[in-house]
Amino acid sequence: MSLASKSPARTSLDWTEIDLYRFFAFAFSSPTQERFEILAQPALKDALAELWQRLRCTGNFPRFDWFKNYQEYEAAYIALFDVGLPEAPVPLFESAHDKTKPAQEIALENTWFYDSLGLKWDSRCAVPDYLITQLEFLAAVRYSLENGPEAAAGSNLGKLEMDFLDRHMLNWVPTAAAKLTGVSHFGFGLFMNLLVAFLHNRREEVDDGALAPLPAHRPARL
């Protein structure tokens, strides 16, 4: 499977039509000029404030600062997520935040989940416990869940999504969000806090049996 998000077109944002797994995969993917231009659109701030409310986040919508130019954006991304001693401040890998198990065990368990849906991660550009890989997997599960014809298959897919959220995403993304808040980078920090809220919301939806809360999904569009 392809685990790289497609670039969304420039249009107005309608959260009811967007798969948020894919939206956050797009927001946290490696910098490109196009990605910068999309995330720098003035309308994004109001759209994120609306999403803050939709996800029932606590408190007022926080300050949202984006970058003045692509060079600033790229440098901040690298400094936060890719480079540091002994590691980057907030690596986008589960094994960097969960020290209760060996990294190899975490990678293998992620791979088992992907195999259960007949999916293969691309070892040329990612590792199994990379945030983008995990989000793209969940997007595939959700798509299959909402487009599957049989109730029994839907039940199994719902359990698969819930198990992956519990065992992996909610096991490390909140920790990464706390670290990112600690380095006080408002742009990426807000995205990460929104991601945590979405993961908790989605976990509740699946547990309650609300397996198809949105009418249809397409790649995120800004």
Q: Which of 59-73, 87-101, 142-156, 169-183 has the lowest mean pLDDT?
A: 142-156
Give the model confidence (pLDDT) of 50-97 as tens digits.
Answer: 999 999 998 899 888 889 999 999 999 999 999 876 788 999 999 999
How many angstroms separate the Cα of 92 from the Cα of each of 130, 210, 217?
6, 29, 25
How confident is the model over 109-131, as pLDDT tens digits? 999 988 888 887 666 667 899 99
The tens digit of pLDDT for each residue in 1-43 reads 333 344 444 445 788 888 999 999 999 999 999 999 999 998 8
Position 137 pLDDT exceeds 70? yes
Can you list the domains of the chain with their CATH numbers?
A: 15-208 (1.10.3480)
Output the pLDDT for position 126. 73
Is the pLDDT reported for residue 196 higher than 60? yes
The per-residue pLDDT for 168 is: 94
d(CA 187, CA 50): 16
Would you state the pLDDT for residue 210?
47
